Structure 1
Amino acid sequence: MSEQSLMALARAETTCGCGRVHTTDIHRILLRDDALAQLPDLLLQPLPERFQRFDPATGRVLLIADQSTWNAAGKQIEAILKQRAILTDTLIFPASPELVPDEAAVFSCLAALGPQTAWLVSIGSGSLNDLTRFVSHLSRRPYLCVATAPSMDGYASDVAPMIHHQMKITYPAHGAEAIIAQPDILAHCPQRMLAAGLGDILGKMTALADWQLGSWIEGEYHCPRVAAMVHQTADEALAASARLKTRDTGAVSLIMEGLLMTGIAMSYAGSSRPASGAEHHLSHFLEMQLMQQNRPPVLHGSKVGMMTPLVIDLYRHLPRITPDFAKARARAESLDLTDVTERWQADMRRVYGRGAAEVIHLAERSGRISRQRTLARLDALQTHWPQVIELARQALPDPERIVSALEEAGARGETSASPVTASPSVPTTAPRARRVPFSPGRAWSYALRETLELRRDPMRATMALLGTALLMFVFGYGISLDVEDLSYAVLDRDRTGLSQNYALNLSGSRYFVERPPILDDRDLDRRMRAGQLALAIEIPHGFARDIARGHSVQIGAWVDGAMPVRAETVRGYVQGMHRGWLLEQAKHRLGQDAATGPASIETRFRYNPDVRSLPAMVPAVIPMLLLMIPAMLTALSVVREKELGSIINLYVTPVTRSEFLLGKQLPYILLAMLNFALLTLLAVTVFGVPVKGSLLALTAGALLFVTFSTGFGLFASTFTRSQIAAMFVTIIGTIIPAVQFAGMLNPVSSLEGVGYAIGQVYPAAHFLTITRGVFNKALGFAGLEASFWPLALAVPVILVLSVLLLKKQER
């Protein structure tokens, strides 16, 4: 059967005599000599609506292989994609031991996914294909399958047989967007894989018999047309078995076509019934026993081939049985189901070991142990017994012919493997695997993955590294508490020498800049409204005369009160200069210093003697930036996982919530500490604010603080589901408390009520005490000990809250 014939069947949509319309979810099959060269075009093809269109400029392709399949086809695929400028990432498993599609393998695949990963390409067969299909479905990404060996029939499947707690469980998934196979690559696979493909196809003979039996006994759906298609495929494979030994390309292609044909048949039937029966159940049991006994795995098709003659022997035994259906019914009606169930469960525990719980659960869910169901089966079996005997005699080949065909194909080493039996030494109650509460290795894997994500996103990495520096300049120079160079003007209604002397007293101050005189009341009001003046001095008529006579004089000082803090400062400046002028006048008139008295106050400033804004603002801005930016980046990193669907890593792998969160947090702690070093360098070199105290104390405080701030980002991410919401929560939860309640502008001690309580417990307030203490007051650990304890306490509190609130399940 050619590629065209397979595609015709895959795309057909006709009503069958069975009453169903047969369709498949197979989009493309390429079985040709230049199949790999078509891969770039397949990646650019239109996709179903559930997938995003691939943009080769930004999207990446994850190639999943093992070392053997990588050598067989992976390197060639990577080179082909590179020639077309398609970006790739690789995940290459060791060739030995053979890959087991279990939780660890799933985690490895999910950890290799990035936000730009648009396609998954499975390079290989069997477990590699099942694993990629499962991860593709979980992550909602399309995948292509490149076959390197005709070893099993799962290429066209839309389910994924996986290993969970050492149990073989089939999970729903979606099929490959295309199946690609190149005959020359298939023919050069290991001989045992060719034999495994043959074994998988020959197993369809007993699977078809079981399907027919199921339709008679259980009333299952059955399609004679589909069964005939699969039977013809199995007969052709049996006839070509001897040619596989010589790696005949035609025979190899025939096996591959047969495996794809059975995939189409399963899609037609809507189940695996045409391709999987008792021989598959036995092969899965053998696989689980091999794992539990730590024995090397055997290829799936080889196990199916080994089990097929055993099942045929069981069918051959049926004609020698004369069942007494009346006695069987009486036995079923008299059974103590509780006792039967308990004994059966004990057998399952003895045979399956730690996987028994899943077997028992599946049986209970299906209602297998049921008196009514057993009686109904007996009735159906009695009705169809003649057909059952005919099926056993005529429909199946000689089991020796199956064994001979497998050995001709090169499966002698596999079929002669020593049998596996359930060991009596396996405890009836399987011991639970010891659960590790915290694995540094798993957390480190997430940290490396997050680091890789940052490397793949230059914009986010640049913002993480340089965003704080940019904001440092904005806040450092843009927010100033210095009140100087204030515009003022004088409305001199007296126009005498004394009034001019008073006006000159202001013009000589460094705090004020004189503007043209005010003409009248209207001019004063206009210029104050326009913001042209921060201060207007009104000297009344008769100013000099009243001073000379010793009368009280009221000078008007009009201050722009739109900015209260600045207005209060201006008032203080004006009153100070007014008192200074009065003292000068008293000295001039009385010939003595009127300020001389029994006591005087000499004001001196410590720590910031020039009372400049930069030494106060720079140490205050550092905590705010180390709180806001790391928290936001950490929250976004987790929420991106939710938006992209890669949060499924947490849901389906053994990783714990604490490992997941800590792994996400570690790269941002490192980035935050790099930002701290950069901000400190800027403070010293650009802003001229030296580190007077202990740099070690400052660094230790910064480490505790950024651990809290990134932890706050984790906390915000536990209850937000979009990046916009995460940014909103982190901005509200960081900037407002840091500015209003942490002492950045006003001391915490000056706050009252709730504001004071927030300032006492909020970590930014304590780190601000540390930064100002080290930068301005030359303090070290001894002087700042009281501020370290709240920071040290805040770190575990926020992390524990984050772990408790993050649910390890989908909502």
Structure 2
Amino acid sequence: MATPLEHAVARATDTRAIAIGEGALDRVGPIVSDLLPGRAAIVVADGTTWAAAGEATTASLRASGVALAEPLVLPAAPPPYASWDTVEHVREGLRAVDAVAVVVGAGTLGDVVKLASHELGRPYACVATAPSMDGYAAFGASIVRDGYKQTIACPAPIAVVADLDVLAAAPARMLASGVGDLVEKLPGGADWILADAVGVEPIDADVWALVQDPLRGALADPHGMRAGDPAAIAGLVEGLVASGLAMQAYASSRPASGAGHQCSHLWEMEGLGMHDDPPLPHGLKVGLGTVMLTALYEEALRHDLARLDVDAALGAFPSWPEVEARILAEGFSPALLTAALEQSRAKHPAPDVLRHRLETLRDGWPDVAELLRAQLLPASDVERLLDAVGAVTHPAQIGLDPQRFRATYVRAMRIRSRWTLLDALHEAGLLERCVDALFAPDGFWGRRPHPSR
């Protein structure tokens, strides 16, 4: 019987081999020579990731008879940034040799090499150096171009190798980042439940299972993860890789990314933590977004939407010109403003569509609310889980002032056309009311004016 990860690989469109375990670096060469026989390889790393696994990756490839080009090693300082400029630099370095890339790194390098290889029409393989995010096996690359972070369609790696000895030695904040990225699949899954319930985007049951079935088990031992326990780290890595494979199978990030990710994307586009030393990892921001959205779900579930006054909600819903005026006043940079207008316009519903959504949500609310409660953890439990691995749980920990943090609940909705809880509450006329409740003196954030640790 196939394991869940083997089933996930079977559903994947690009990835044909996954190796996770202690000593897995020894398998890089055999996998590459088997999947890409006769092809030369070029190892791509930065100074930090080369020190972590570059030499061992090179040795494994050489021992398997894979011809090797001179490695492409980017500087460790400043660390590479997932920008279009970096993609162009790596693409031109790869173009100069007839070889497939074997990238040794985490999210930034993985996405850069993914897109650069795609532009050259070449497959590539990936060696993970930190359990920091779910993008190793994911379809698409998250790249900042012209000030806007976007997921650009491109194939996932043909193989992913994750050596638990290497991953356990990664900086603690990188593990915390991975936990933040993974736990967001809980409210992200709730967003998909809502979208399915109102007919916006049906759930693909097989893809859902790839992400959600291993999820709680993967998050079950945060103290073991922080202590470097191989079994706990293996569970985390398998959960992250399975999420990436699910995105391959679905050709979209919907299975693994909800509004909590949108909060992180907004902050990243605004440069939050980009110039920190070291830069603030994506997953730490996603973890905070998870706390934000889980708390918002708790507030939303206090409302009995089975009693929603649909006519009143329709009457109060702003027209597109009114929404456009609000977006223009919300302080977006020029590049982000253009994207916010385009993305928001794409999902602004016509009156008949909105009526159907609201009536469907009202009529199905008892069942939907039950599904949402079963899907979610309490926000306080998410806080404790993230605290246990040293992740971010409060905006002050990453320099977000209260006004900017509060505005994220609305502004994050603007930058993506994906329909989430933020849109559901906006369309029902409840978003501002729920956010106000969170920041009231007795609300979730009102009770947390300072970092919890």
TM-score by length of 1: 0.46
Instruction: Specify the alignment match of 1:378 in structure 2.
Output: 358
Q: State how far apart, in whole Å, the 2-side matches of 1:209 and 1:177 are.
A: 31
The residue number in structure 2 matching 1:622 is: none
Alpha-carbon distance in 1 for matches of 2:256, 2:334: 28
Structure-2 residue corresponding to 1:8: 6
- Matching of residue 25 in structure 1 with residue 7 in structure 2: no
Pairing partner for 1:344 from 326, 335, 339: 326
Deviations for 1:489-535, whole angstroms, at most 9, x for unmatched residues?
xxxxxxxxxxxxxxxxxxxxxxxxxxxxxxxxxxxxxxxxxxxxxxx
Q: Report deviation, 1:321.
A: 2.7
Gap regions ≥5 residues in structure 1: 13-21, 48-52, 424-811
Secondary structure of the corresponding residue to residue 137 of structure 1: helix
How many Å apart are 1:371 and its aligned residue?
3.5
Distance 1:165 1:181, change over 3 A: same
3-state secondary structure, aligned to 1:145: strand
Distance (whole Å) between structure 2 residues aligned to residue 342 and residue 221 of structure 1: 28
Structure-2 residue corresponding to 1:131? 112
Q: Deviations over 1:326-363 (max 9, x none)?
A: 2112234xx5533x143134035x13443221232333
Residue 325 of structure 2 aligns to a residue in which SS?
A: helix
Listed one character per residue, the Cα deviations across residues 197-244 of structure 1 (whole Å, up to 9, x for unaligned) are 111111110011001000012341213454345334221133211101
Q: Which residue of 2 aligns with 1:304?
A: 286
Match of 2:246 among 249, 252, 265: 265
Deviations 1:782-802 (A, max 9, x none): xxxxxxxxxxxxxxxxxxxxx
- Output the CA distance in 2 between the equivalents of 1:316 and 1:410: 24
- 2:83 equivalent to 1:79: no
Cα distance change on mapping 1:315 and 1:99 into 2, 3 Å: same
Q: Residues 103 and 109 of structure 2 are in contact (CA less than 8 Å); yes or no, is this contact kept in structure 1?
A: yes
Tell me how far apart the structure 2 counterparts of residues 11 and 80 of structure 1 sit (CA, whole Å).
23
Percent of aligned positions that are identical? 31
- CA deviations over 1:533-589 (Å, ceiling 9, x no partner): xxxxxxxxxxxxxxxxxxxxxxxxxxxxxxxxxxxxxxxxxxxxxxxxxxxxxxxxx
- Please give the per-residue CA displacement for 1:567-612, whole angstroms capped at 9, x wherever unaligned: xxxxxxxxxxxxxxxxxxxxxxxxxxxxxxxxxxxxxxxxxxxxxx
User: In the TM superposition, what is the alpha-carbon distance from 1:133 to its structure 2 partner?
Assistant: 0.7
Measured in 2, the distance between the counterparts of 1:413 and 1:90 equals 39
Q: 1:276 to 1:367 in 2, by over 3 A?
A: closer
Structure 2: which amino acid aligns with 1:128?
Answer: L
Rounded Cα–Cα distance in structure 2 between residues aligned with 1:101 and 1:293 = 11
SS of match in other structure, 2:126? strand
Kept after mapping to 1: 8 A contact 2:16/2:159? yes
Q: Which letter does structure 1 place at the counterpart of 2:309? A: D
Structure 1 CA distance, aligned partners of 2:35 and 2:181?
33
Matched residues in 1 for 2:232 and 2:56: separation?
A: 24
CA distance in 1, matches of 2:169, 2:257: 27
Amino acid of the structure 2 residue aligned with 1:408: A
Give me the whole-angstrom Cα distance separating, in 1, the residues matched to 2:170 and 2:394.
16
Partner secondary structure for residue 290 of structure 1: coil
Aligned equivalents of 2:267, 2:25: Cα separation in 1: 35
* Equivalent residue runs for 1:732-811 within 5 Å: none
Q: Does 1:361 align with 2:342?
A: yes
Moved over 6 A (4+): none
Larger CA deviation: 242-251 vs 323-332: 323-332
- 1:36 equivalent in alignment to 2:30: no
Larger Rg: 1
Residue in structure 2 matching 1:161, options 142, 146, 158: 142
User: How much has 1:139 moved relative to structure 2?
Assistant: 0.8
Provide the residue aligned with 2:156 in structure 1. 175
Contact 1:195 1:302 in 2 (8 A): yes
Q: CA RMSD of the aligned region, Å?
A: 2.7
Query: What is the 5 A alignment of 1:541-620?
Result: none
Q: What secondary structure, in the 3-state scheme, does the structure 2 residue paired with 1:259 have?
A: helix
Please name the residue that 2:49 is paired with: 69
- Contact kept in structure 1, 2:310 and 2:355, CA below 8 Å: no
Asked if the contact 2:13/2:248 (under 8 Å) is kept, the reply is: yes
Alignment check: 8 A CA contact 1:298 1:414 kept: no
> What is the rounded CA distance, in whole Å, between the counterparts of 1:221 and 1:414 in structure 2?
33
Call closer, same or farther: CA 1:251–1:336 in 2, change over 3 Å.
Answer: closer
Matched, 1:215 2:196: yes
State the match for 2:220 in structure 1: 239
For residues 413 and 210 of structure 1, what CA distance do their matches in structure 2 show? 21
Q: Is the 8 A contact 1:244 1:252 kept in 2?
A: yes
Amino acid at match of 1:318: A
2:391 pairs with 1:411: yes
Structure 1 counterpart of 2:236: 255
**Cα drift, residue 422 of structure 1:** 4.6
Given that residues 152 and 259 in structure 1 are in contact (C-alpha distance below 8 angstroms), is that contact kept between their aligned partners in structure 2?
Answer: yes
- String of CA shifts for 1:646-676, please: whole Å, max 9, x gaps: xxxxxxxxxxxxxxxxxxxxxxxxxxxxxxx
Q: Is the 8 A contact 1:287 1:298 kept in 2?
A: no
Q: Which residue of 2 aligns with 1:152?
A: 133
| 3-state DSSP of counterpart to 2:256 | coil
AA at the equivalent of 2:91:
L
Contact 2:5 2:238 in 1 (8 A): no
Alpha-carbon distance between aligned partners in 1 of 2:76 and 2:314, rounded to the nearest angstrom = 53
Retained in 1: the 8 A contact 2:218–2:238? Answer: no
Give 2:8's aligned amino acid: A
**Is residue 2:303 matched to residue 1:321?**
yes
Provide structure 2 residue ranges, at least 5 long, that are not aligned to the other structure. 406-453
1:425-465 Cα deviation digits (max 9, x unpaired): xxxxxxxxxxxxxxxxxxxxxxxxxxxxxxxxxxxxxxxxx
Q: Supply the distance in 2 between the matched residues of 1:193 and 1:318 (Cα, whole angstroms).
A: 32
Secondary structure in 1 matching 2:14? coil
Equivalent residue for 1:96? 77
Could you say which residue in structure 2 is the equivalent of 1:387? 367
How many angstroms does 1:367 deviate by?
4.7
Of residues 378, 395, 398, the one that matches 1:398 is 378
2:315 aligned partner: 330
Distance 1:203 1:248, change over 3 A: same
Q: Tell me how far 1:23 sits from its aligned partner.
A: 5.1
Amino acid at match of 1:96: A
What is the distance in 1 between the residues matched to 2:350 and 2:70? 52
* Structure with bigger RCO (C-alpha 8 Å, 6+ apart): 2
Q: Secondary structure at the match of 2:72?
A: strand
Q: Are the equivalent residues in 2 in contact too, given 1:136–1:143 (CA < 8 A)?
A: yes
1:399 deviates by: 1.2
Whether contact under 8 Å (2:287, 2:392) holds in the other structure is no
SS at match of 2:329: helix
